[in-house]
Structure 1
Amino acid sequence: MNGLSDIHGLDFDSSSFQKYIAADCDRLNFLRDYLSELGVKTSVIPLGEKKHLYVNFPSTAYNPMFKVKTIISHYDRVAGSPGANDNSLANFALADFAANLFKSRPVHNVRIFFTDGEELGAEGVSSQGAFALADLFRKIGITNDDVYVFDACGRGEVAVLARAGLDSKISGPFKKKFLDLYERTQNLLKKSMPNSWMTLPVPYSDNAGFLACGIPAVAITFLPKDEVSFYYSNLMSDKNLEKAVMNCRIDSDSKNAADLSIQKFKYSEKMPMTWRLFHTEYDNFLSLTPESYVLMKKILTQIAENKTIA
């Protein structure tokens, strides 16, 4: 059976989820109330016109010997779309994960942000809400976190690590730190999903804002297995496809809106069906797959348990 009604036994509140993806939902306040009911304390961090939600773990959750792991999941969505996969399921999985950490109270070194304004990235990375957050990190000297972005994790059983950042022309310490994080993330996926992950070109998410500020960040998304095979085959046969994918949510060479729409239309049939549902009415509850929620929580657990010397 498709949809999340299958997973009531996994602490997933599907009735709350249906309210969260309703057209009239105040998603920030809903998410904050939902977390509060789970016993999770939060703070709203306003940066410009954007409002990010931060989880207030106690100081006892952190050990300065180890790296802090910042986990990010945007809560905003495009008007007219339920945003079930982009990015509501990841929000709920991360909220339930935060609640589990609060209850068990381990030393986990995890920071969690639910960010605002990710969907504005199509207007340029500096308009993205995470850019201002990353810029704040940089200004106050938080540049050594491992930053993990979870976006569109509600469809499929294959975890996809975005290749964004690998082709960065920036060398020196940034490049070294990024490659180190990328390698460790691959090892993390091997442990949590040994036979069901890969690296692929993926449209930018909140990782774009952090990369633009010189802070290494990786993005993880999910895709169904058949869509991964289809997409990979198209990448091998069309060398222009990767560039088109990477330009989907950031500045393109062309500033002409008509040119941009033509480019997106030209390549859309070669991209995964999951991505074609983004920003439409079809990114709804019924498009989700129940195993995705479980698999995302496996990855989150691995992140929390992983300890890297600072």
Structure 2
Amino acid sequence: MDFLPKDFSEYLELKGNRADFIQSWLLKQRVSSDKIVIGGKSHVLVQFAPAAYNPQYRIKTVIAHHDRAGEGPGANDNSAACFQLMQWAVSLSKYIGFHNVRIIFTDGEESGEKSGVVDQGAYSIASAFRRIGLSNDDVYVFDACGRGNIPVLAKTAFPSVSPKLNRQFYNLFSRTQDILRKTCPGRWMSLPVPYSDNASFLAQGIPAVAVTMLPAQEASVYAQTLFAKPELERLVMNSPGNAGLEDYLPYTWRLFHTQNDCKESLTSESFAVMKKILRTLADSKTYA
């Protein structure tokens, strides 16, 4: 498991405050951050120099939830993405020019799995964004990105009555497709995903997409199952907790919230692919 970041095992073993760990780890790498507590949830906002931002271009807010559910280690859900973004934050602190990236590690995503988006930690962040007028960011959520070699851009069903939000979302979705095409030509998919913080931002009228990873074989079988059972897409995106759908979902997702979501289940390819995706995302710029 040489591909795993140093301190990853320590992070998995934590029973306490993961937000404190993230801040301490970043500080050791000379990257500043602030803790934002909203509704009892501790979120971490990475701080970059003012020169990292150009107001002529859209801000890219990048999210990974740091909380975990149950007693499982949570290696893929969502420790891998947290460390991938932590390492990326170190790279961005040395970025030449502006990158317009804002990184937030959120708390409470797992609490909304069955009860709905309003109980997710990201919902409170999205609400705060809306209150202070930060509703024009492009939001990218990375969730379960430590297993597999195929990036999956989540299909999202949301009952928006706002033509503006629909337009913003599909523009962002299209730009994210371009990033994946550039990074992984012919090696990415768009599939329905039964989880993610992006729903919290969409519920607040803020465009947001979600990206995850799957092994190629699992992604292929899942796509074939969706083709054979057209009703499955709607069920996956709308069934709380995916009750009764487990047999149709990729094996990777069935590991969530179990002891098998451990570091041994992770793959080196995921970290290599994610590094490329994040580098391309940093370099991408869209006029505001």
Query: How far off its partner does 1:279 sit?
Result: 0.5
Task: Say whether 1:132 aligns with 2:124.
Answer: yes
Equivalent position amino acid for 2:101 in 1: V
Offset of residue 61 of structure 1: 0.5
* SS of aligned partner of 1:186: helix
Shift of 1:23: 4.8
Q: Deviations over 1:111-165 (max 9, x none)?
A: 0000000001221110110001001111111111110000000010000000114
2:20 equivalent to 1:38? no
Alignment TM-score, normalising by the size of structure 1:
0.89
The match for 1:63 among 40, 54, 57 is: 54
Deviation at 1:308, TM superposition (A): 0.6
Q: Are residues 1:158 and 2:154 paired?
A: no
Q: Which amino acid aligns with 2:258?
A: T
> Which residue of structure 1 aligns with residue 178 of structure 2?
187
Residue 228 of structure 2 corresponds to 237
Q: Deviations over 1:152-196 (max 9, x none)?
A: 00010000000114x544241111111110101100110111121
What are the ranges of 5 or more consecutive residues in structure 1 without an aligned counterpart? 253-259
Quote the offset at 1:27 in angstroms.
1.3
Residue identity (%): 48
- TM-score (normalised: structure 2): 0.96
Q: Which runs of 4+ in 1 moved over 3 A?
A: none
Cα deviation digits, residues 285-304 of structure 1 (max 9, x gap): 00000110111111111111
State the alpha-carbon separation in 2 of the partners of residues 157 and 306 from structure 1: 22
Are the structure 2 counterparts of residues 104 and 176 from structure 1 closer, same or farther at C-alpha, using a change threshold of 3 Å?
Answer: closer
Paired residue type of 2:180: L
What secondary structure does 2:141 align onto? Answer: strand
Structure 2: gaps (5+ residues): none
Q: Is the 8 A contact 1:126 1:209 kept in 2?
A: yes
Distance 2:236 2:22 in 1: 30
What is the match of residue 255 of structure 1?
A: none
Question: What's the counterpart of residue 275 of structure 1?
Answer: 253
Partner of residue 44, structure 2: 53
Paired with 2:182 and 2:134, the residues of 1 have a C-alpha distance of: 28
Q: Per-residue displacement from partner, 1:201-250 (whole Å, max 9, x unpaired)?
A: 001311010011011100000000000111111111223322231135xx
Contact 1:43 / 1:55 at 8 angstroms: preserved in 2? yes
Work out the number of aligned pairs and report it. 287
Alpha-carbon distance in 2 for matches of 1:107, 1:23 = 35
Q: Which amino acid aligns with 2:94?
A: K
| Cα distance in 2 between the residues matched to 1:53 and 1:169 | 29
- Map of 1:4-15 to 2, 5 A cutoff? 5-7=1-3, 12-13=5-6
1:217-232 counterparts in 2 under 5 A? 217-232=208-223
Aligned residue number for residue 88 of structure 1: 79
Counterpart-to-counterpart distance in 1, 2:111 and 2:15: 20
